[in-house]
Copies of this chain bind each other. A is one copy, B any other.
Amino acid sequence: MSVTEVEAAVIGAGTAGLVAVREILKVTDRTVLIQDGPMGTTCARVGCMPSKALIQTAEDYHRRGFLAAKGISGGEGLCVDGAAVLRHVRKLRDHFTEGMVEKTLGHGEKLIVGRARFLDAHRLEVGGRVIRAERIVLATGSRPIVPARWASLGEGVLTSDTVFELDRLPRSLAVIGLGVIGIELGQALGRLGVEVVGVARSGRIAGLSDPEVLASAMEIFSREFEIWSGHAAEVESAGDGRFTVIAGPHKKTVDAVLVSIGRRPNVDGLGLETLGAPLDEQGVPVFDPATLRVGSLPIFIAGDANGRDPILHEAWDDGRVAGYNAAREEAVCFHRRAPLKITFCDPQIVTAGRRFSEVKDLEIAIGQCRFADQGRAVIRDQNAGLLRVYAERGGGRLLGAEMAAPDGEHLGHLLAWAVQQGLTVFDMLRLPFYHPVIEEGLRSAVQAAASEVREKPRFSELAFCDESPLSSLS
């Protein structure tokens, strides 16, 4: 077999892999990018982008319910053409994917199409060709988990990989698993007229760990579609291409099933077992999160493949860290950004900084805001939700927040930025909050947390000129 010798090989042309190879190319031209399967990244093809296009369409249709009270008639005459909606989603999806495919193909002869298999820690076999690399980046992504017994039931068993390929919307849909994908797509399809039932085995929605926020979210989403909580689902064929879904005492026959119970790192069939590295319960080689290096091997694992949160900006950073290290003799470790996770449902579910589950056993001050009476939220007909912020009870340093809130994506950025910078709730209250904006709800929650903090500065909201910047008007 022919052997190609390179400094660094990258397996997978998704977000992490494309970024890794870009990082490597800053240092050396001696690299290859190996890609198997459809190009265009998970995000653009089957993830963030088509889901946002569907959600925007559903939101635009959903707003018709608020028109009559505002003096606009005719909202009841709006009509969804499901096939056209799906074509619109695919058109936008194709637009975004095109750029990623071009970027991939732009690597010319450095791009090798085929499935890579480890021969040893330095050698890969791809389509009868051997690549010998000083260092290897493993960025093979992830795929939806579907139990084999469900997958065999027919085409109506959908995942995020297939739902956007539908010709028309199903009349009824069971969404199994209300994580990020399940709640986003379930709500959007429900708003577009699909009769949706959601199954949340764990009783959780989109990873919320704060029981108060979860209760608020559960109440809000239950008003839009039926949710079966706390029972595992089973799916059976009901004939005629339909399905019976059973969960505890619940049973329903539906046209289609969206399986959204999680994603599995694509680490099987790569010959990873030849490396001798210990694997975790997902089959992912154990790696150092600060360098992304697998043990003392010359292998770095980036993006969804490493089984941490499948979030684009984290995959991007993973690609940079893995690519940086794969291009150099010595692996260095990197600080990471403050955690931020956004589910684009309505209200948006967001966790920023540390979750409630991570701080609940510490001595914390909690502040909250419900949006029911918040001016702008009322004006926008988006006044459902709950935001809770967590701060150190001692000195008031912000630790994190969970919410189901209007404008959650924006509040999440403010909160994650504040957490990363180590701001206290008092520091935050000295920053500008405009009027009338949803951010005023954040201020209310921060004020409430501040009132619980033990060591308050004498003044907390406007700073005296002649005192330290940390003392201000309470």
Contact = CB atoms under 8 A, between A and B. Distances in A.
Interface of A: 43, 48-49, 52-53, 56-57, 60-61, 63, 66-67, 69-75, 77-88, 92, 95-96, 290, 311-313, 316-317, 320-321, 324, 332-340, 342, 375-376, 378-380, 407, 409-410, 412-414, 416-418, 420-421, 430-437, 439, 461-466, 469, 472-473
Contacts of A313: 432-435
Contacts of A378: 92, 95
Contact of A72 (B78, B332, B435): B78
A334 B432 contact: no
A305 B416 CA distance: 37
The 5 closest A-B pairs by CB, nearest first: A71-B84, A71-B85, A410-B410, A312-B435, A337-B432
A462 B320 contact: yes
A369 B290 CA distance: 32
30 contacts: A56-B380, A60-B72, A70-B84, A71-B81, A71-B83, A71-B85, A71-B86, A72-B79, A72-B85, A73-B78, A74-B74, A77-B77, A77-B78, A92-B378, A92-B379, A95-B378, A96-B375, A311-B435, A316-B435, A320-B461, A332-B465, A335-B465, A335-B469, A342-B434, A407-B410, A413-B414, A413-B432, A417-B418, A417-B431, A421-B431
A432 B414 contact: no
A18 to B, nearest CB: 14
B379 A340 contact: no
Contacts of A375: 49, 52, 96
- Copies of this chain, how many? 2
A9 to B, nearest CB: 21
Given A410-B407, A414-B413, A338 B432 contact: yes
Contacts of A342: 434, 437
B57 A72 contact: yes
Contacts of A60: 63, 66-67, 70, 72
Given A75-B78, A462-B317, A413 B434 contact: yes
A413 B435 contact: no
Contacts of A407: 410
Contacts of A434: 311-313, 340, 342, 409, 412-413
